Structure 1
């Protein structure tokens, strides 16, 4: 039974010759590895100015569907331009769902602090490091952490990301 390949993003121009070379490379990889590219889970992006007929030809040739921005890839929102708060809602929901599943009344303050610092703060790190997080998102996460722990907010601890002087930091003050 063939296994599936790992996720990858590949960039190439849409010239027919390059697409044919790319498809030949995929077939060669599949033959050598025994793995198969799942065309139903594979898509391509094209510039806005690409005609529908050209996109349709590319789709027919590759058996891949056309995708559009914004989209999510490996949990990270991809978009042209600035990442906005609505694009990060799935990540926010994942974190708040985790908090809702914990029984805050049954945990002492130290246990709450450990959960926040080591479980919650590590969840979004790999997703949020490559992007500039809007300050509103950081403040919302800060508030969710504080509500769970009974802590007061303070700008100091738990860096989620650090991308220059305008970066927001996620923090909380211990009770």
Structure 2
């Protein structure tokens, strides 16, 4: 449709193709210029696809997002055309918040709260130290990986999360106690060096972002070359 001028994609730098869509399982994200012609084309094509395949779009659960320069009157007009609710930032997609600007504590805090809430569901009194360490490695730490691959977390937030994890490891509770503990950097050492094999969250966050940066530099995948 783009090649035949039936669909206008979002603007991009000269010489670069802008993305028109992203597909993930049963989710479809369409990127286009907000014209009546474009939106009518999108709605028409989805209805034709649904009539043929039997896979119908749930318009009431779908959202349409607009740029900051569009007027309220035009937003209302285009929304009524597609029959979708108006989406607003921030919102979560695949467990990661999408927002504009730098990561802020109020955006990332819900992720930390949701992960740390798992502590309350575990019967810590019946767990040994080894059992608590295993839960931290296999459940808590891995739960942060998805967002760590995308955003640089605030160091103050990582320190708060680390403190609660450390307390749970030694006492079975996230609350502060007066018990003597082994230094956390010792706990994050490999087994071979006398540690518990736990992950330093700040180091993990930094490593995953460096991996993403390397992909931006070396990958020929369209998703990376467009943003570079």
TM-score after normalising by structure 1: 0.81
Match of 1:70 in 2: 90
Count of aligned residue pairs for this structure pair: 161
Q: Does the alignment pair 1:58 with 2:78?
A: yes
Q: Answer whether contact 1:143 1:153 (CA < 8 A) is retained.
A: no
Residue ranges of structure 2 left out of the alignment (5+ in a row): 1-24, 171-180, 190-197, 212-228
SS of residue in 1 equivalent to 2:97: strand
Q: Structure 1 segments of 4 or more deviating over 3 A?
A: none
Structure (1 or 2) with the larger CA radius of gyration: 2
**Conserved? CA contact 2:148–2:208, under 8 Å:** no
Tell me whether 1:129 sits opposite 2:137 in the alignment: no
Aligned to 2:104: 84
Q: Does 1:164 align with 2:183?
A: no
Closer/same/farther in 2, CA of residues 9 and 132 from structure 1, 3 Å limit: farther
Shift in Å, 1:91: 1.2
Return the match for 2:164 from 129, 133, 144.
Answer: 144
Question: Taking structure 1 as reference, are residues 18 and 141 closer, same or farther at Cα in structure 2, changes over 3 Å only?
Answer: same
1:36 aligns with 2:56: yes
1:11 shift after superposition: 1.1
Q: Choose between structure 1 and 2 for higher RCO, CA contacts under 8 A separated by at least 6 residues.
A: 1
Deviates more, 1:141-150 or 1:25-34: 25-34
Please report how far the alpha carbon of residue 52 of structure 1 lies from its aligned counterpart in structure 2 after TM superposition: 0.8
Q: Contact (CA 8 Å) 1:43, 1:66: kept in 2 or not?
A: yes
Cα distance in 2 for partners of 1:22, 1:78 equals 23
The answer to whether the aligner puts 1:153 opposite 2:184 as a matched pair is yes
Match of 1:95 in 2: 115
Between the aligned partners of 2:87 and 2:48, the Cα distance in structure 1 is 25
Q: Distance in 1 between matches of 2:44 and 2:67?
A: 24
Single out whichever of 80-89 and 136-145 deviates more from structure 2.
136-145
Equivalent-residue separation in structure 2 for 1:20 and 1:71 (angstroms): 26
Kept in 1: contact 2:148–2:209 (CA 8 A): no
C-alpha contact 1:40 1:65 (8 A) present in aligned 2: yes
> For the aligned residues, what is the CA RMSD?
2.1
SS at the partner of 2:92? strand
TM normalised by structure 2 equals 0.64
